[in-house]
Structure 1
Amino acid sequence: MEKRWVHNQESPAEVVENLAQALKISPTLTGILCQRGICTFEEARRFFRPSLSDLHDPFLMKDMGQAVDRLNQALHKGEKVLVYGDYDVDGTTSVALMYGFLRNYTHQIDFYIPDRYKEGYGVSSQGIDWAAEHGFSLIISLDCGIKSADKVAYASGKGIDFIICDHHLPDEDIPKAVAVLDPKQVDCPYPYKELSGCGVGFKLIQAFCMQNDIAQEEAYKLLDLLVVSIAADIVPITGENRILAYYGLQHLNGPQPMRPGLDALKELAGITGEMDITSIVFGFAPRINAAGRMGDAKNSVRMLLAQTKEDAFRMADIINESNKERRTKDTNITKEALQMIEADDFLRTANSTVLFKETWHKGVIGIVASRCIEKYYRPTIILTQSNGKASGSARSVHGFNVHSAIESCSDLLEQFGGHMYAAGLTLPVENVPAFIKRFEEVVSNTITKEQKIPQIEIDAKIDLKQITRNFYNIVRQMEPFGPGNMRPVFVSECVYDTGSVRVVGDSHLKLRLTQDGFYSIDAIGFGLSDFYKPISKGIPFDLCYTIEENVYRGVTTLQLRIKDIRMK
């Protein structure tokens, strides 16, 4: 698939050079820092040396005082407190974080995760009824609740108060809860707006510790759960999230024993080295998510809260089996979806993909939508039948607002929600053909030519000889990488293979590259075997790549991970 190489805008040369002299590092690297808004020595110091002392005062968040007061009241009076969270990674880590902390201060506590299929996303009437039946008078909702004004009012009628900890964009109708903690509220003065749901819960715990003279170290013990939420929920790893992720990874990789549930997950995922954001996203997140997709998300919470290795592995095994089932359904449905596209002239050449089959598993349709985009790069919606309705998940391509496109079809829908790149929707089955036609019209009229081609953002053009161990060590210090601070991508032009190019596995290239007749470095390009013939003939080429370490037979060397190749 063709890709666009988009070079990030260069910063003013004087600013880049001044920072290079102050830090005593390559202007290439300070140029990348400046692109990311780090242009002074002090900004660089905070970036390279994150400090927990730079975390914001939690009481800057709107309603934080009311939240702590109500929680204190509940604990002092022995009220029953219910910790309520969503069924994804952010929700389940949030519940484990809050419940695991509060159970040190009360035995009148339980947690609740809604059933993905019977109750749907967010606060449910069934959950409130369950809380009322079991005598709970306070619900702390995490990663949900900001759009549940009607449910909060329903709970109030049953004598149940709400503290909402959420990070999603609020509607105009803010729930009338005792406290609504959400930095995205327009009147919330909290300086950092991009916390995960678990991050908002963490700020409540921080504030609780401050109010009750509890050492902040008690809150910091929870950063292992918080970094899992930050990585899995794909929030920007900037500002406060960067500090929290940095220390969360230290917690996971430190000398102290890992939380039993995460340790079990690491072993089952086959992760042998240090944890980073990528290993959480691809090793932890799918397994934690699978519990809610294929069965009971409470199993994820039970695993995260397990206090013994035996209990942790028992729950992790259940979750791992759910993940295997998820992968099987994901693979089979993706294969079927791609066959549907390839067999239909309209679908094959359309500007969008909308597929419907009533028997597809609802728990994996979002994943299937993403898989289809890997083959057919365009806004995609996968629909299945649920409770007599067509229910679906949408995914988008870079720069295209799929939520807005769905909104243009709202007269055909019963409900929808989400954001620019991912959304969910429900509509009558009989409206599906009209929706497919309308959505295609909307996309065709609004998508640009550039948005239909996947892009690679390039940070800098360099010569291969610049890639030294010292250069790489500075790049390493820019971790943790993720949205808002991605692993730097470099371009090198007119390079050659030294004669060692070969295909490994089914479709991967292994090379040893040289430029200007000197210096050589190993490289690997996954899925790039189509370039084998021209490269083996000695034709020069340009490539874009990231730099990584490769360990082989105990020897560690630098290698390039190629993202794309352009033959000369």
Structure 2
Amino acid sequence: MINNYSYNIFSNSIYLYDSFLLDGVGEALYRITKSVNNREKIVIYGSYDVDGITSVSLLMLILKYLNADVEYYIPDIIENEEIFNSSVIENHIRFLGAGLIITVGCGINSFREVEICRDLGIDVIITDYHTPSDKLPSAIIINPNQKQCKYPFKELNAVGITYKLAYAIAEHYHVQCIEKYLDLVAIGIASSTMPLVDENLAMLEKGMYCLSISNNYGINAITKINKINHMDYNSLKTLASILMPKINAVGRMDDARIVVELLTTSDIERAEQIAKYLKKNNGK
């Protein structure tokens, strides 16, 4: 027993805090189901680090499973240290025909960007873990660190919050397989500096088990090519390191998109091709 939820690595499920304790989840779910049901274009917007990549991939997979019209964007330009930036919205996102943008791990202080989206008729759901200012953007916001949020665990990273939202979506649509995506969550948590306590520890431990039986072609290709035969915490850190895009300013953006493709592809041959590329190109 960890706090007030239970966990057993050999059980069929783990019991986490109710997603709806996160302020904004109910409103976000309503807006997402509207997009899914009406086949409205959804764009998931995230960062190029492993936490962002696993967040984008997780949300892409659950929404694709629901046959949503969904794309993702990882920016080439970072303005004023803001991942979610106005240049991308005005010069790219607007031309995708998006009706809804969902950020993962960014956007909590993106006031101008949200206003630009509003002017373009695009709704915004912000999922973020960074500490917000006293004022919040005029969007649907999921962030355990906003003042009014009563969520009992404040140390979730981007992929942890994304999983909580995905879990709420899965419950609404009666999707039974949501916990299999804890393989991605575990990689994202292992890549971050968040403390391995409470929900983070539970999701990481169950995620390691899910990794050992994963049906994700990309993960299986990476573990096969890099000869990762046993899944423990060190193996998990190795996986996160392999998936981290290169440091050079242009290449890391391209690699980030390649890694998202790796983690979301339904083509086993393409997965192995990308895994071999990453091993050769990143020297891992």
**Counterparts of 1:488-527 in structure 2 under 5 Å?**
none
Choose from 231, 249, 252 the match for 1:275.
231
Aligned length: 277
Partner of 2:223: 266
Deviations 1:335-372 (CA, angstroms, capped at 9, x unpaired): xxxxxxxxxxxxxxxxxxxxxxxxxxxxxxxxxxxxxx
Following the alignment from structure 1 to structure 2, what is the Cα–Cα distance between the partners of residues 227 and 189?
Answer: 24
Give CA-to-partner distance per residue, 1:379-404, whole Å, 9 cap, x none.
xxxxxxxxxxxxxxxxxxxxxxxxxx
Are positions 1:320 and 2:279 aligned together? yes
Partners of 1:287 and 1:116 in 2: CA distance = 23
Unaligned runs of 5+ in 2: none
Aligned partner of 1:288 among 230, 233, 243: 243
> CA distance change for structure 1 residues 43 and 226 in 2, over 3 Å: closer, same or farther?
closer
SS for the counterpart of 2:177 is: helix
Contact 1:122–1:148 (CA under 8 A) maintained in structure 2: no
Per-residue CA shift, 1:174-233, capped at 9, x if unaligned?
1111x1001111211111111120111111111122233x14x32112111010001111
1:85 and 1:95 in contact (8 A); partners too = yes
Are the counterparts in 1 of residues 128 and 161 from structure 2 also a CA contact under 8 Å?
Answer: yes
Aligned to 1:173: 135
Q: CA 1:311–1:291 in structure 2 vs 1: closer, same or farther (change >3 Å)?
A: farther
Letter of the 1:73 partner, please give it.
K
Letter in structure 2 aligned against 1:138? L
1:308 match: 267
- Gaps of at least 5 residues in structure 1 are 1-41, 328-568
Q: Distance in 1 between matches of 2:196 and 2:245?
A: 24
Tell me the TM-score normalized by structure 2.
0.89
Which residue is equivalent to 1:138? 100
TM-score by length of 1: 0.46
Asked which structure has the greater CA Rg, the reply is: 1
1:29-428 map, 5 Å: 49=8, 52-115=13-76, 121-129=82-90, 130-177=92-139, 179-212=140-173, 214-215=174-175, 217-254=176-213, 257-272=214-229, 274-281=230-237, 283-291=238-246, 293=248, 294-295=251-252, 296=254, 297-324=256-283
Superposed displacement of residue 120, structure 1: 6.0
1:238 deviates by 1.1
From the superposition, tell whether residues 321 and 125 of structure 1 become closer, same or farther in structure 2 (CA, over 3 Å).
farther
Q: Distance in 2 between matches of 1:275 and 1:192?
A: 27
**CA drift at 1:258:** 4.1
Q: How far apart are 1:241 and its partner, in Å?
A: 1.3
Aligned counterparts of 1:45 and 1:147: Cα–Cα separation in 2: 32
Query: Given that residues 45 and 56 in structure 2 are in contact (C-alpha distance below 8 angstroms), is that contact kept between their aligned partners in structure 1?
Result: yes
% identical equivalent positions: 31
SS in 1 for 2:245: helix
Give the match's secondary structure for 1:301: helix
Larger RCO, structures 1/2 (Cα 8 Å, 6+ apart): 2
Report the residue type matching 2:232 in the other structure. Answer: D
Q: Distance in 2 between matches of 1:301 and 1:53?
A: 26
CA distance 1:44–1:118, change in 2 (3 Å)? closer
Give 1:126 deviation, angstroms.
3.0
Between Structure 1 and Structure 2, the one with more helix by share is 2
User: Post-superposition shift, 1:134?
Assistant: 1.6
Q: Between Structure 1 and Structure 2, which shows a larger proportion of strand residues?
A: 1
**Change over 3 Å in CA distance of 1:159–1:91 after alignment to 2:** same
